[in-house]
């Protein structure tokens, strides 16, 4: 099979597609012929050896894919050869075949395209756990999503709106991203380009929320936007930090937490995949049901062949991706 093959941790410019052996399923494992894989910013960190989990060398990167089951191992009972499924893995999705544990395989609804299935994977799972498990989101609350035109951001906006947020406010960088955030469901979008965002974000949110502030903040961005968002939170608000797409890891000023009784937590979604696979399965079924009901529509900005993986990752690295980029095989 062909795969993006990492023999040593290195810059993404030095990685390449190679011909490697097909994987063989072990006990409780499934081999899937990949039709579409989700390109994500953490894939860059994994390939460069900067991620918190380092796969054993050599490996193919990629954390989410969709395709057709081509082989099953011993004691696999819920998945059969020929099934159309999505998979969540720690690595391996940037390949023509990926191996996954049976409990990380999710049957696709009838009529769901493979690119949509891949796009409804990691970022929607992460956003769901951020909103409901970590932020204890309740219907009727207001939500601020930083980086609302990106992968995590657009997924968080759609899920918050689909599941009852009274108002979703998005922040973006640049006028070209405003329409994307609006199309995903934002009721109000704030462009953080330029100076003075520390006060500007707080003041605009106060205006939009009649002085209250936001109940929940989803932050995959970090940097200056994080501090600005912290100052824009309502009493007993909850912030969930998912990542640092800005490249700047913020320092939380704990006096803000005391003054407003607000909480800041983090999310490492892969822990839930490993520790609570049944929980992850329930969430994926809910995400697929919301898609069937027309309440979720992933924004796939580009589809590229697997051999163009570098172009996809370079756009992610530069922060130029709106929604999702999907890599395809064949």
Lowest mean pLDDT among 64-73, 135-144, 188-197: 188-197
Please report whether residue 106 resides in a domain.
Answer: yes
Model confidence at 131, pLDDT cuts 50, 70, 90, reads very high
Are 155 and 264 in the same domain?
yes
Say if residue 330's pLDDT is above 80: no
What DSSP assignment string belongs to 230-286? HTTEEEEEEEEE---TTS-PPPP-HHHHHHHT-EEEE--HHHHHHH-HHHHHHHHHH
Is 251 inside a domain boundary? Answer: yes
pLDDT tens readout for residues 157-174: 999 999 999 999 999 998
In a domain, 206, yes or no: yes
Q: Report pTM.
A: 0.93
Mode of pairing for the β-strands spanning 263-266 and 188-191 = unpaired
Residues 166 and 227 in one domain: yes
pLDDT digits (tens, 9 = 90+) for 263-320: 999 999 999 999 999 999 999 999 999 999 999 999 999 999 999 999 999 999 988 8
Residue 153: predicted pLDDT? 95
User: Who contacts 145 (Cβ-Cβ below 8 Å, separation ≥6)?
Assistant: 153, 156, 157, 160, 168, 169, 170, 171, 186, 217, 218
Question: Does any domain span residue 283?
Answer: no
Q: How confident is the model at residue 198 (pLDDT cuts 50, 70, 90)?
A: confident
What range does the domain containing 143 cover?
Answer: 127-268
- What are the tens digits of pLDDT across the range 209-258? 999 999 999 999 999 999 999 999 999 999 999 988 877 888 888 888 99
């Amino acid at each position: 099979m062909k795969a993006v093959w990492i023999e040593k941790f290195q810059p993404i410019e030095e990685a390449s597609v190679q011909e490697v052996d097909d994987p063989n399923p072990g006990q409780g494992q499934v081999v899937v012929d990949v039709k579409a894989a989700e390109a994500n910013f953490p894939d860059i960190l994994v390939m460069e050896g900067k991620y918190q989990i380092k796969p054993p060398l050599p490996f193919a990167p990629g954390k989410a894919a969709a395709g057709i089951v081509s082989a099953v191992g011993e004691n696999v009972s819920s998945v059969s050869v020929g099934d159309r499924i999505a998979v969540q893995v720690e690595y391996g999705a940037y390949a023509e075949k990926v191996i996954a544990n049976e409990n990380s395989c999710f049957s696709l609804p009838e009529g769901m395209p493979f690119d949509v299935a891949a796009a409804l994977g990691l970022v929607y799972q992460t956003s769901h756990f951020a909103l409901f498990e970590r932020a204890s989101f309740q219907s009727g609350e207001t939500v601020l999503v930083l980086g609302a035109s990106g992968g995590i951001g657009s997924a968080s906006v759609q899920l918050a709106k689909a599941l009852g947020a009274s108002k979703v406010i998005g922040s973006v960088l640049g006028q070209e991203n405003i329409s994307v955030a609006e199309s995903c469901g934002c009721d109000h979008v704030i462009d953080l380009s330029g100076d003075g965002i520390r006060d500007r974000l707080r003041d605009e949110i106060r205006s939009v929320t009649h002085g209250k502030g936001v109940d929940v903040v989803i932050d995959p961005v970090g940097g200056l936007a994080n501090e600005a968002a912290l100052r824009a939170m309502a009493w007993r608000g909850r912030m969930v930090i998912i990542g640092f797409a800005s490249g700047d890891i913020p320092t939380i000023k704990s006096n803000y937490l005391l003054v407003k009784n607000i909480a800041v937590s983090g999310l490492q979604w892969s822990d839930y995949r490993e520790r609570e696979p049944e929980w992850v399965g329930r969430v994926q079924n809910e995400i697929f049901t919301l898609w069937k009901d027309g309440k979720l529509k992933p924004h796939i900005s580009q589809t590229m062949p697997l051999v163009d993986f570098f172009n996809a990752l370079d756009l992610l690295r530069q922060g130029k991706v709106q929604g999702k980029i999907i890599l395809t095989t064949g």
